[in-house]
Amino acid sequence: MSYMDKTTGIPEQGITPPIPDTGEMPDREWRKDDKTLTNAELTLEEQDWFCDARPTPAKPAWGPVEKFYNWARANSLWILAFGTGCGAIELRPLVTARYDISRLGMQPRPTPRQASVFMIGGYVSIKTLKRIVRSYEQMQGPKFVVAVCSCAINGGMYWDSYNTVKRIDQYIPVDVYVTGCMPRPEAVMAGFSKLKELILAGKAEGQNLYAEKFDWYKANQKQVIKDWNMPDYNW
Amino acid sequence: MSLVTKLIWTFISLGIVTIWGLTLTGIVAKIFARVQGRLGPPVWQPFIDIIKNNAKRTAVSHGIMFYLGPVFRIAGGIGTYMFIPAIYGSLYFSNFSVSGDVFLVMYFIFFGQLGMALGAGEGGHPYSAIGVARGLAQMTAFEVPFALSVISLAVQYHTLNITEIVAAQQGGILSWTLFTNPLAVIAAMIAMLGMNMYNPFSVVIAPQETPIGPPTEYSASFLGMLATNRGIFNAAKMVLFMNLYFGGATNLVEMIVKTFCIYFFSVFIGVAFPRFKTEDAIRFFLKVPTLVGILAIAVFLI
C-alpha cells in the first residue's frame, strides 16, 4: 500500500504508513480484555516478569491544587535526552555556561523513571523507535515529549527511507515540535518555553492521550516494529 | 516539659532544619553554578523539585522492601537529628539528646544507607546494585576516620553524651575541639567530605555518568522522599559536626551560620577537585585520615 503526498501527488515511499486515526479500533490480538494485555510475543517465563495491565488515564487533582502542581511541573522539567540523531548535540550548549537551562529549573536526568520531559533529538529509525517506546512508557506521568529537528517532524531527508518513521506523534504523543535542521539552542529553548506554557495551561496531557488512544498507538508501533520482543506496555 | 510538648517542639525543630537543609542544598547548587560560570538554579529549586516529584500521578513499586527503602532512609535522617541537641542550653531545641549518645547517632547515619541498599536491591536494576556497592564501600571507609575521631573525643572529654561534649567546649573559641583536639577535627572533616558526597567522593551518586546510584529505579513520591531526606540528613550531619567540633550553638542564627560554614568546607573542596574512583576513595580514607585519627587517640592516651 502506498499513500500520496498531498502537495506533490507523488506516491510516498518508505515504511508501512500508520493507520488512519478514526477513533475506532478493531479488536487486536494483544488485548486480552479491557484492562489486560497478552504480552504474547514474550515467552511464558518472561510473561511472569512483566506486568500485563493497560495504562489508564489519570485524573488531575482538584482545580487550584492542579494549578499549583502544574506550576511546579513547569518549573522543574527534568529531561531525558534521547540522542537519536544530530539534534542531540544541541543539548550540550543548553546545559553549559552559555545557555544554562538549570537557571530555568531544568536538568538532564539519566533514567526515564525520574524524568518528566522526553527530548527526542533527530530522526527515528525503527530500531530506535523500539527504545523510544520502551523509555517513554517507563516515564512516570505527567510526562511530556519535545521532538527536535525536521527529521522528527516529517522524516526530513529520510522521508523515503525504508527504516525511518516520519512523524513521531503517530507512535507516541508529542507536545512540542522544534523545527530546523538543526535548530539553534535558542530554538530548543523556545520550544521548552512553549512546553511550559502548555503545562501551565493544563494542556500538556500526553500521558492521558496515550492511555486513551493506546490501541491506535500500539497498532502503529506494532506495524513497523517487527521484532517485538518486549512487553506490550513497559513500566 | 511533658513528653508531648517535647515531641511537638522536636518536630518544629525538625521542620526548621528540613527547610534549612534544603535551602542549603539550593545555595550550594547556586555556588557550584557560579564557579562554573553559569547562573544556576534558583535557591528554592529543591523545594519545587520535591513538590513536582510528589505531584506525579503514577509511581512504580517493585515490592515491599523497595517501598520501605526510602522510609528507612528518611527514618535514618530523622533519627540522626532526633538525638542531637540543635541549640545548646535551649529548652525547646535540644530534641531527645538526653536519651541517646553519639554512638546511637553514628548508627543512625549508617542505618539509612543500609535500608536504602535493601530497597534499591529489590528494584532489580543493575545500576542500583553498582551504586549500592559503591556507596557502602565508601561509607565503610569514611566511617573509620570518623569513628576514630569520635573515640578520640570520648577519651578527651570522658563522655559520649553530645550535650556534655558541647558543654565542655563552652567559654570562648579556644575551648572548641577544633583547638583542643585539632587532629580529631582533621580526621572528621575529611570523613565529612565522603559523607556529603561532593567531589572528590561523588562517584556514588554520579548523576550524568553511567548510573545515578541507588535511586535509579526510584520515581515520583519515592524520589521526593529521598530528596526531603537529603535536606534533613545534610542539616543533621552539620549540626552534629558543629556540636562535636565547633562548640555547638546557643541560638538559631549561630547554628545557621556555623552549619553553613562547616558545609562550605566540603563545597570548597568539591568545586576544586575532580572525582575519585571508588577504590581510590577507599584507599584514600584508609591511609592518611585513618593515621590522623589513630594519632588523635594516641595523643590523649600517652
CA-based Rg of chain A, rounded to a whole angstrom? 18
In eight-state DSSP terms, residue B96 is T
Q: Does domain A62-224 have CATH number 1.10.10.10?
A: no
Residue A3 has pLDDT above 60, yes or no: no
CB pairs under 8 A between A and B: 88
pLDDT, tens digit (0-9, with 9 covering 90-100), for A198-221: 999 988 889 999 988 888 888 888
Contact in structure between B117 and B214 (CB atoms under 8 Å): yes
Q: What is the pLDDT of residue B241?
A: 92
Backbone angles phi, psi at A31, to 5 degrees: -95, 115
Q: What is the pLDDT of residue B186?
A: 93
Rounded Cα distance between B292 and A225, Å, is: 61
Q: Which of residues B179 and B199 earns the better pLDDT score?
A: B179
Q: Which residues of B fall within a CB distance of 8 Å from A107?
A: 41
Contact B52 A69 (CB under 8 A): yes
Rounded Cα distance between B22 and B30, Å, is: 12
Rounded Cα distance between B199 and A229, Å, is: 41
Contact B45 A105 (CB under 8 A): yes
The identity of residue B17, as a single letter, is V
CA-based Rg of chain B, rounded to a whole angstrom? 19
Q: What is the pLDDT of residue B210?
A: 56
Q: What is the dihedral of CA A144, A148, A150, A151, to 10 degrees?
A: -80
Contact in structure between B234 and B24 (CB atoms under 8 Å): yes
Q: What is the pLDDT of residue A73?
A: 92
Average pLDDT of the segment spanning B117-139 = 83
Residue B29 has pLDDT above 80, yes or no: yes
* B212: nearest CB among A102, A105, A110: A110
Give the pLDDT band of residue A1 (cuts 50, 70, 90): very low
Q: Which residues of B fall within a CB distance of 8 Å from A207?
A: 57-58
* B41: nearest CB among A59, A73, A103: A103
User: Which residue carries 576514630 as its cell?
Assistant: B148
Kindly list the domain boundaries of chain B, sorted by start residue: 3-301
CA distances (Å), origin A2, targets A12, A15, A16, A160, A208 = 6, 9, 8, 12, 31
Residue A8 has pLDDT above 80, yes or no: no
Average pLDDT of the segment spanning B214-242 = 89
Contact in structure between B87 and B251 (CB atoms under 8 Å): yes
CA distances (Å), origin B202, targets B52, B196, B233, B273 = 25, 8, 16, 11
pLDDT, tens digit (0-9, with 9 covering 90-100), for B241-293: 999 999 888 888 999 999 999 999 989 898 888 888 888 989 999 999 999 99
Is the CB of A92 inside 8 Å of chain B's CB atoms?
no
Average pLDDT of the segment spanning A6-25 = 70
Residues 169-188 of A with CB under 8 A from B: none
Q: What is the pLDDT of residue A13?
A: 64
Is the CB of A97 inside 8 Å of chain B's CB atoms?
yes
The identity of residue B40, as a single letter, is G
Q: Which residues of B fall within a CB distance of 8 Å from A72?
A: 48, 51-52, 55
* A102: nearest CB among B38, B52, B127: B38
Average pLDDT of the segment spanning A40-69 = 86
Question: Which of A23-27, A155-159, B154-158, B200-204 comes out lowest in average pLDDT?
Answer: A23-27
Mean pLDDT of chain B: 87
Q: What is the pLDDT of residue A6?
A: 60
Q: What is the chain A residue with the closest CA to B223?
A: A114
- Three-class HEC string of chain A: CCCECCCCCCECCCCCCCCCCCCCCCCCCCECCCCEECCCCCCHHHHHHCCCECCCCCCCCCHHHHHHHHHHHHCCCEEEEECCCHHHHHHHHHHCCCCCHHHHCCEECCCCCCCCEEEEECCEEHHHHHHHHHHHHHCCCCCEEEEECHHHHHCHHHCCCCCEECCHHHCCCCCEEECCCCCCHHHHHHHHHHHHHHHHCCCCCHHHHHHHCHHHHHHHHHHHCCCCCCCCCCC
Average pLDDT of the segment spanning A34-48 = 81
pLDDT, tens digit (0-9, with 9 covering 90-100), for B209-220: 656 777 888 888
Average pLDDT of the segment spanning B217-228 = 89
pLDDT, tens digit (0-9, with 9 covering 90-100), for A66-123: 999 999 999 999 998 888 888 778 888 888 889 999 999 898 888 888 899 999 988 8
Contact A97 B38 (CB under 8 A): yes
Give the pLDDT band of residue A11 (cuts 50, 70, 90): low
Is the CB of A51 inside 8 Å of chain B's CB atoms?
no
Residue B63 has pLDDT above 90, yes or no: no
Residue B18 has pLDDT above 90, yes or no: yes
Residue A175 has pLDDT above 80, yes or no: yes
Rounded Cα distance between A62 and B10, Å, is: 33
Choose from A51, A140, A205 for mutation: most chain B CBs within 10 A: A140
Q: Taking the mean position of all CA atoms in its chain, how far away is CA A190?
A: 19
Residue A24 has pLDDT above 90, yes or no: no
Percent over 90 (pLDDT), chain B: 33
Rounded Cα distance between B95 and B255, Å, is: 15
Rounded Cα distance between B11 and A1, Å, is: 68
Using a CB–CB cut-off of 8 Å, the residues of B that contact A are 29, 33, 36-42, 45, 48-49, 51-52, 55-60, 127, 207-212, 215-220, 223
Other residues' Cβ atoms within 10 Å of the Cβ of residue A193: 12
Global ipTM: 0.87
Q: Which residues of B fall within a CB distance of 8 Å from A234?
A: none
Q: What is the pLDDT of residue B294?
A: 93
pLDDT, tens digit (0-9, with 9 covering 90-100), for B160-174: 888 888 888 888 888
Kindly list the domain boundaries of chain A, sorted by start residue: 62-224
